[in-house]
Amino acid sequence: EPEVTQTPSHQVTQMGQEVILRCVPISNHLYFYWYRQILGQKVEFLVSFYNNEISEKSEIFDDQFSVERPDGSNFTLKIRSTKLEDSAMYFCASGATGAPNEKLFFGSGTQLSVL
């Protein structure tokens, strides 16, 4: 089965620093997503992205977050000034068409620790 690849698998940063989490979605997919899971909590939707624009975003996705598709293969999540509460596992996902009933493919996640 095709895979979504996320790097790095673990990221440690100091509070206030900027981090960029990277994802390589499945090659012919058009819709991209970020979700996060704070330790012991539910997986939460952050943002969806299509055609180089944010399609939807949650309340969590405030001005410190941004997403970008800098080239034809990568999809990134930038956190501008990290806070302790940003510590979480961040999952990237992709979908072929963006149809609401399609299966999403998830990456293995980046564990972000903000100290």
Partner 1 sequence: KQEVTQIPAALSVPEGENLVLNCSFTDSAIYNLQWFRQDPGKGLTSLLLIQSSQREQTSGRLNASLDKSSGRSTLYIAASQPGDSATYLCAVSSARQLTFGSGTQLTVLP
Where on the chain is the footprint of partner 1 (CB under 8 A)? 31, 35, 41-45, 48, 55-56, 58, 89, 91, 95, 98, 100-101, 103-109, 111
Q: Tokens in use for 97?
A: 């068409």
Q: How far is the CB of 62 from partner 1 (least distance, A)?
A: 17
Beta carbon nearer to partner 1, 18 or 56: 56
Nearer to partner 1, 13 or 111 (CB): 111
Q: Nearer to partner 1 by C-beta: 40 or 71?
A: 40
Q: How far is CA 64 from CA 19, 44, 77, 95, in A?
A: 11, 17, 10, 25
Q: Please, what is the minimum distance in Å from the beta carbon of residue 1 to partner 1?
A: 9
Least CB distance to partner 1 at residue 4 (A)? 9
CB 22 within 8 A of CB 5: no
The C-alpha atoms of residue 76 and residue 57 are separated, in whole angstroms, by: 15
Tally of CB atoms within 10 A around 88: 21
- Per the DSSP assignment, residues forming a β-bridge with 89 are 37, 111
Please state the closest distance from residue 9 (CB atom) to partner 1, in A: 9
